[in-house]
Amino acid sequence: MREREALEIAAAAVDLARAAGAHAEATVSIARRFHTEARDTTISKLEQSIGSSLHVRLYRDGRRASLSTSDFSREGLERAMRAAVDQCAVVASDPLAALPEVCGAFEGDLALCDDALAQRDDAAKIDDVLQLEQLVRSADERIRNSSGSHYSDAVVTTALANTAGFARAYTGSRAMRSSAPVAEAHGTKRVGHYGTAARALRDLEGNEAVAALAARRAVELFGAKKPATMRVPVIFERDIAASVIDDLFAAVNAANVAVGNSWLAQRVGERVGSELVSIVDDGTLPGKLGSSPFDGEGVPTRRTPVFERGVLKTFLFDTYYARKLGAASTGNSSGGGIGSNNFYLEPGTSTLEALIASTQRGVFVLETIGFATEHATGTYSRGARGFLIENGELTAPIDEFTIAGDFAEMLAAIDGVANDLRFDGAVVSPSFRVAEMTISGN
């Protein structure tokens, strides 16, 4: 029902644009959202909403304007469209700004919406988060407080129509649970955090698993000291590895490439990483959080190998930057820029434990702090916390150190990739090891 309603609104906006002598693309979103937070035995936050929005991009005489509104009345749509047409008269002409030449949708079953999640009773969600909060507080006697345990979910219908005749809609669901316990020992406080997210309720990690890992992260770094400065192998735990891959996404984003803000510009076809570096963007993986049948412009999503065994194969494009750089859209429009679908490093075959055991001396990174990636040059630097690895085992906890390197050197030096890939976001990665990096400590 919501998909039909959303398509009717998008089609009405497109008809008004056509009547005004313009080409247009209209996107309608109808979302039902729920969020609750527990602290100790109390529900400290409870939010529920149903929201609707319309976003239109309008093209006329080589000029582009956009509008957003939540007023879906005929009068409201006509007023908004007149304003957008008036805007077109005063903006500069851009011959690259136009609708995609080809629109369409992936036709397979992407399993985007979980009926069990959509129909779940709100009282069960509240019981869920209260249980998670109690589990995390009872996991370790050093846990004295909490920054909150959370449960949230959403069911979102998206419809897109344009004056080229494309009109499609889909509905997707998403759920998340997380906790952030506060531990105290010897006058020192530490906060741990762990969360899980998925499209289907059955794919979320259970409360027991989330509480156990959140509690462990809160207490395991007590007694941490600054390490010596050294050059050693560095293993990035999968959540931190995902942030490294996210920095790499910025370098293959064609919008950055076009303005020279990417260290990978002019390097398509070159070997950049090791044989273990195969990175894919794929919007067609069933049930994954980054999947959808079409992107923000109505271009079908697809599987795009970005790196194959270390060789850079392509950048990622929306329609505008594909035209600018003489390429074709890869189905990566976010509706206002270039975004990832499911962007991930392909997993290896060994476990994380085996990767640690094969490291004689090194550093295992569990948390990074700050933002210090220079995308134009590929310089990487982060404050970090984690463990020393000695004789293949995690030994002393360490913090207040910096890991630094050059992205090209880091990718070339990846010599181990674990099998612990988990699709809990749009940019994900298994744990991996870089053969040598600089650790700046004492």
Round to whole Å and give the CA distance between 138 and 149. 13
Round to whole Å and give the CA distance between 263 and 205. 37
Q: Which two tokens stand for residue 86?
A: 């008036």
Q: What is the pLDDT of residue 186?
A: 83
Asked if residue 218 lies in contact with residue 227, where contact means CB atoms within 8 angstroms, the answer is no
User: What are the start-end ranges of the E strands in 61-142?
Assistant: 63-69
Round to whole Å and give the CA distance between 315 and 330. 9
Q: Which two tokens stand for residue 149?
A: 């345990």
Round to whole Å and give the CA distance between 388 and 360. 10
Domain boundaries, the chain: 2-219
**Torsion 365-367-371-376 (CA) sign:** positive
Please tell me the number of Cα atoms within 13 Å of 289 on its side-chain side. 21
Round to whole Å and give the CA distance between 145 and 219. 12
User: What are the start-end ranges of the E strands in 111-166?
Assistant: 143-162
Q: Return the closest-CA partner of residue 405 out of 236, 237, 268.
A: 236
Q: What is the pLDDT of residue 1?
A: 58
Round to whole Å and give the CA distance between 193 and 203. 19
Asked if residue 162 lies in contact with residue 298, where contact means CB atoms within 8 angstroms, the answer is yes
Give me the residue label for tokens 């510009």.
Answer: 265
Model-level pTM? Answer: 0.95
Collect all residues with Cβ–Cβ distance below 8 Å to 73 and sequence separation of at least 6: none
Q: What is the pLDDT of residue 142?
A: 95
Q: Which two tokens stand for residue 27?
A: 């996107």
Round to whole Å and give the CA distance between 132 and 142. 17
Q: In this structure, are strands 393-406 and 279-282 parallel, antiparallel, or unpaired?
A: unpaired
Cβ burial of 301 (10 Å; 0-12, 13-18, 19+) is buried
Each residue's pLDDT tens digit in the chain (442 positions)?
A: 589 999 999 999 999 999 988 999 999 999 999 999 999 999 999 999 999 999 999 999 889 999 999 999 999 899 888 888 888 888 999 999 999 999 999 999 999 999 999 999 999 999 999 999 999 999 999 999 999 999 999 999 999 999 999 999 999 999 999 999 999 998 889 999 999 999 999 999 999 999 999 999 999 999 899 999 999 999 999 999 999 999 999 999 999 999 999 999 999 999 999 999 999 999 999 999 999 999 999 999 999 999 999 999 999 999 999 999 999 999 999 998 999 999 999 999 999 999 999 999 999 999 998 776 888 999 999 999 999 999 999 999 999 999 999 999 999 999 999 999 999 999 999 999 999 999 998 8
Q: Is 144 left (phi over 0), alpha (psi -120 to 50) or beta?
A: alpha
Give me the residue label for tokens 């020279």.
Answer: 260
Q: Which two tokens stand for residue 405?
A: 């390197």
DSSP notation for 266-307 = T-TTSB-S-TT--EEEES--TT-TT--SB-TTSPBP-EEEEE
Query: Does the structural domain 2-219 have CATH classification 3.30.2290.10?
Result: yes
